[in-house]
Amino acid sequence: MAIQSVGVIGAGQMGNGIAHVFALAGYDVLMTDISAEALEKAVALIDKNLERQVSRQKITPADKAAAMGRIATTQTLADLGQCDLVIEAATEREAVKHAIFAELVPHLKPSTILTSNTSSISITRLASRTDRPEKFMGFHFMNPVPVMQLVELIRGIPTDEETYATLLEVVRKIGKTAATAEDFPAFIVNRILMPMINEAVYTLYEGVGNVESIDSAMKLGTNHPMGPLELADFIGLDTCLAIMNVLHEGLADTKYRPCPLLTKYVEAGWLGRKSGRGFYDYRGETPIPTR
């Protein structure tokens, strides 16, 4: 089926990036959030990020104007009912996602493909609580969405071939590359990445190295562009912990046990960049390690 209109649920870090790339690729985008302020901030950030692309000559001013003209916002979830494709990019909590789908599903047209940008939660389980499990998929973008080239496509047990083929084409049209993953906890990227981050936190917890030495060792020793603790702060420590819990519970293997120090940082509200403190303190001019 042809996709022309896209609904994006959530105007946060992921939602605004998803809206950005779809609008730039020529799709009509309707973005929703419970917060009017979040929607305003998202549109302003998309404008700023598109302007950065113009300044780097990646796109033209006309491209930017056209993309901004394709983005609309609403606080009413039901307004997304007529979209051809809906991408849920709300918080990484399963109960929240179920509640969103329960409210949205009665308003969807029969042909709408419903997807989740979840980074770890079972697609089959999310799909089972909707009226269209065969038209439900995991559509996992990487952060920051306009920059990162990968999209993980995750098929649930009931996902039909037409839905998969349609989304494969959509990924191509937005200029990304798809990696198909089976529906197991955390899929491919986070199944590999999060235990590495968790092990870095254990390395800090056990005193093997401090924040600076751990991040420097991984950047210089393995040529990673960002150290694992710096990356954890960028992702959000609450998100890292949530994914580790999904892995631990879903695979029942002690190697996925979240580090107690990661739990403590989240309990303290030190969630990384978004809260001003995590493994680094971001409240000054330059980030300072907190351990």
What is the per-residue burial (b if ≥16 Cβ within 10 Å, else e) of 162-186?
Answer: ebbebbeebbeebebebeebebebb
Please give the radius of gyration of the chain, using alpha carbons only, rounded to the nearest integer. Answer: 19
Q: Of 122, 140, 198, 230, which one is the catalytic site residue?
A: 140
Cα–Cα dist 189/165, whole Å = 21
Residue 81 labeled ligand binder: no
Residues 6 or more apart from 25 whose CB is under 8 A from it?
173, 174, 175
210 catalytically annotated: no
Residue 274 labeled ligand binder: yes
Residue 137 labeled ligand binder: no
Residue 10 labeled ligand binder: yes
What is the per-residue burial (b if ≥16 Cβ within 10 Å, else e) of 43-67?
Answer: bebbeebbeebeeeeebeeeebeeb
Residue 97 labeled ligand binder: yes
Residue 12 labeled ligand binder: yes
Alpha carbon 219 to chain centroid distance?
A: 24
Residue 11 labeled ligand binder: yes
140 catalytically annotated: yes
Amino acid identity for residue 12 in this structure: G
Q: Of 5, 49, 120, 152, which one is the catalytic site residue?
A: 152
Q: Of 119, 120, 122, 198, which one is the catalytic site residue?
A: 119
The structure tokens 């909707």 sit at 130
Residue 33 labeled ligand binder: yes
Q: Of 117, 190, 198, 230, which one is the catalytic site residue?
A: 190
Residue 181 labeled ligand binder: no
119 catalytically annotated: yes
248 catalytically annotated: no
What is the secondary structure of 241-283 as a DSSP string? HHHHHHHHHHH--GGGPPPHHHHHHHHTT--BGGGTBSSEE-S
Residue 92 labeled ligand binder: yes
Active site residues: 119, 140, 152, 190
Binding residues, by number, are 10-15, 33, 92, 97, 119, 143, 274
Binding residues for NAD(+), by number, are 10-15, 33, 92, 97, 119, 143, 274
